[in-house]
């Protein structure tokens, strides 16, 4: 990641989104635009102490319904964003617990049995969330399978039992 991480500064995640910091109440919260593929959405991150050893992390990612076409939603549902954040938060969790930064092996890990299993479970959970929100189960599963294949570079794998 590169950028000027201050109010009105900009950031860029390598090979991913970039944007502008729109609000900052350090160390409690920040908001930013999330600009990717020609579109803009908005994120807010909030941190709140739970006790002396733990902090609650809350991420809100907002997109305007008008910016997501019916065709795009029918084809992919919530899976692209959901799986992406699941992977990013897994990386954050590993960094916080191990203090290591290993972006050089993320693609290698993604192709490992562990990485593929993580992405499969994530895709399946996002399909379940889509169904819980009212989507047709077959459509939600097909969307999650498509996105799983996109993230892993494979043909869609069968849903986990």
Q: Does position 47 have pLDDT exceeding 90, yes or no?
A: yes
Q: How far apart are CA 151 and CA 75, in angstroms?
A: 15
- Domains assigned to the chain: 1-67 (3.30.530.20), 69-154 (no CATH)
Q: Which residue has the higher pLDDT, 55 or 110?
A: 55
Beta bridge partners of 39: 36
Do residues 24 and 35 lie in contact, with contact meaning Cβ atoms separated by under 8 Å? Answer: no
CA-CA distances (angstroms) from residue 117 to 31, 64, 77, 82, 123? 32, 31, 20, 16, 10
- pLDDT band at 67, cuts 50/70/90? confident
In the DSSP assignment, the letter for residue 94 is H
- pLDDT band at 161, cuts 50/70/90? low
Q: Which of 46-55, 107-116, 136-145 has the lowest mean pLDDT?
A: 107-116
Location of structure tokens 């709140």: 48
């Amino acid at each position: 990641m590169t950028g000027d991480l201050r109010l009105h500064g900009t950031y860029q995640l390598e090979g991913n989104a970039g944007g502008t910091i729109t609000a900052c109440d350090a160390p409690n919260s920040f908001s930013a635009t999330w600009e990717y593929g020609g579109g803009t959405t908005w994120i807010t991150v909030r941190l709140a102490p739970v006790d002396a050893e733990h902090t609650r992390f809350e991420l809100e990612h907002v997109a305007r319904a008008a910016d997501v076409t019916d065709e795009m939603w029918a084809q992919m549902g919530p899976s692209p964003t959901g799986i992406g954040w699941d992977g990013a938060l897994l990386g954050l969790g590993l960094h916080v617990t191990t203090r290591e930064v290993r972006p050089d092996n993320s693609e290698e890990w993604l192709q490992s049995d562990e990485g593929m299993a993580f992405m499969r479970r994530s895709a399946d959970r996002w399909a379940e969330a889509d169904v819980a929100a009212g989507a047709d189960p077959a459509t939600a599963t097909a969307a999650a399978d498509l996105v799983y294949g996109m993230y892993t570079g494979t043909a869609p794998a069968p849903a986990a039992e």
